[in-house]
Structure 1
Amino acid sequence: MLKLYTDAATKGNTGIGGVGVLIVNDHDQVQLHLPLPAMTNHEAEFHAALAGFDYLLAHQLNTGLVSYATDSKLVLDALDKRYAKHYPALLAALLERTDQFPNLITQWVPDRVNQGAHQLAQQGLREAEQQ
């Protein structure tokens, strides 16, 4: 089973940010970190999820069993309900991607379980601060 973990970090609630994506497949890992322009933490969490699913789709890793874990209750609830009052465009973009995963399991995880993606998001934030 392939495991996807995502997280975001922002400087304040509406500051620059970073995205962290950790993909674990058997004994292999892919680590991604990207800077983000100024946005809310919730928007950054959606962008983290988008980055993760974009990577999987670009590498055709959507056919097997995929477990997606995030510490963002907002993103997970939006995916489960297929509704996000304040972020309809971001949710639509995310659903466009997740709908291409026939065997997707989503789960909320506490921060301590998401440390790999969190550290990568911090790296993305540091990159954003240097731009």
Structure 2
Amino acid sequence: MIEVYTDAASAGNPGPSSIGVHIKQGKNRFEFSEHLGVCSNHEAEFHAVIRALQYCQQHFPGEIISIRCDSQIVIQSVEKTYCKNPVYTPLLNQILALHDKFSYVFYKWISDKENKHADRLARAELKRNQ
């Protein structure tokens, strides 16, 4: 099983945003961050999961993926396969389409305290791009 921690950072809402992704595969660790440009904090959280799944598609196809995210809106939307805000629907649809690339994908909401590594990556990327 691949453990994937995602987070986003935004300076303003909307504002410049970045993501951080930390991946654990047994004893191996992988990480990356990306600058997104201007978007809302919730959009950035969805993008973090999308990019994490895209990375896993390339490096761990067919594996069981555990996405751990501190964004309740992302976790609830994926679990219900529905977004109240239609702005997020295309992002949710991208996430759901990526599920077919893996044997199983599940999601777990985690606290900010449990997501410090991905948070640091996202904040550092945001700082580099301001």
Cα distance in structure 1, aligned partners of 2:58 and 2:115 = 23
Aligned to 1:81: 80
Q: Structure 1 stretches of 5 or more lacking a match?
A: none
Query: How much has 1:84 moved relative to structure 2?
Result: 0.9
1:40-98, Cα deviation, whole Å (9 max, x unpaired): 00000001111100100012x13232211000000001100001132111111111112
Q: 1:65 touches 1:104 (CA, 8 Å); kept in 2?
A: yes
Aligned residues: CA RMSD: 1.1
Q: Does 2:67 correspond to 1:49?
A: no
Query: Which segments of structure 1 move beyond 4 Å, counting only runs of 4 or more?
Result: none
Q: Normalized against structure 1, the TM-score is what?
A: 0.92
Q: Structure 2 stretches of 5 or more lacking a match?
A: none
Aligned to 1:32: 32
1:2-41 alignment runs, 5 A limit: 2-41=2-41
Query: How much has 1:33 moved relative to structure 2?
Result: 0.7
Aligned to 2:97: 96
Amino acid at match of 1:47: H
Aligned to 2:70: 71
Identical amino acids, percent of aligned pairs: 34
Q: 1:67 touches 1:105 (CA, 8 Å); kept in 2?
A: yes
Label 1:98 to 1:127 Cα distance change in 2 as closer, same or farther (>3 A).
farther
Q: Does 2:110 correspond to 1:116?
A: no
Q: Normalized against structure 2, the TM-score is what?
A: 0.93
Provide the aligned length of Structure 1 versus Structure 2. Answer: 128
Query: How much has 1:14 moved relative to structure 2?
Result: 0.7
Aligned to 2:53, the other structure's residue is in SS state helix
1:92-124, Cα deviation, whole Å (9 max, x unpaired): 111111233222221000000000110011122
Cα distance in structure 1, aligned partners of 2:113 and 2:14 = 24
Q: 1:68 touches 1:107 (CA, 8 Å); kept in 2?
A: yes
